[in-house]
Amino acid sequence: PSSLGPIPSVQQEPVTSSAREKPRDSTVPEDLSCSICLSLFTDPVVLQCGHSFCQTCIHEDWETNIIRECSLCKQFIPEADPPINLNLKSLCENYRGRSQGEPSGGHRNHTETFQVRF
């Protein structure tokens, strides 16, 4: 009989310290939740490494760190503000709209308190 060889292992994303502190909202699909706040994305931004976070979450995370890096893969992120992930934002808004009668998760939109630094 022939062997198929070793089964490749599935690599998981590292868990951030904030992700260890509170449970993930099980009502929100993992693909639509921020790995920092563990809730539905609010104004998601995408970093150069491809990971996405709520705009407020990543900026608050960077304020506490000396080096500006991705919270998941630790890749250095240049000083430019990361762009809004428009596709992910649309998906989250659609998901939030469908589950209107239920608690939507996510944190309150901090757009009014967040000032973009130019």
- Give the least confident one: 9-13, 44-48, 52-56, 79-83: 9-13
Mean pLDDT of the chain: 76
Residues 37, 18 contacting (CB under 8 angstroms): yes
Q: What is the pLDDT of residue 4?
A: 54
Q: What does the longest C-alpha to C-alpha distance in the chain come to?
A: 65
CA-based nearest residue to 37, from 15, 22, 52: 22
The arithmetic mean of pLDDT across residues 5-25, rounded, is 49
Percent of the chain whose pLDDT exceeds 70: 62
Q: What is the pLDDT of residue 33?
A: 95
- Give the least confident one: 19-28, 54-63, 79-88: 19-28
For the domain covering 17-98, report its CATH number: 3.30.40.10
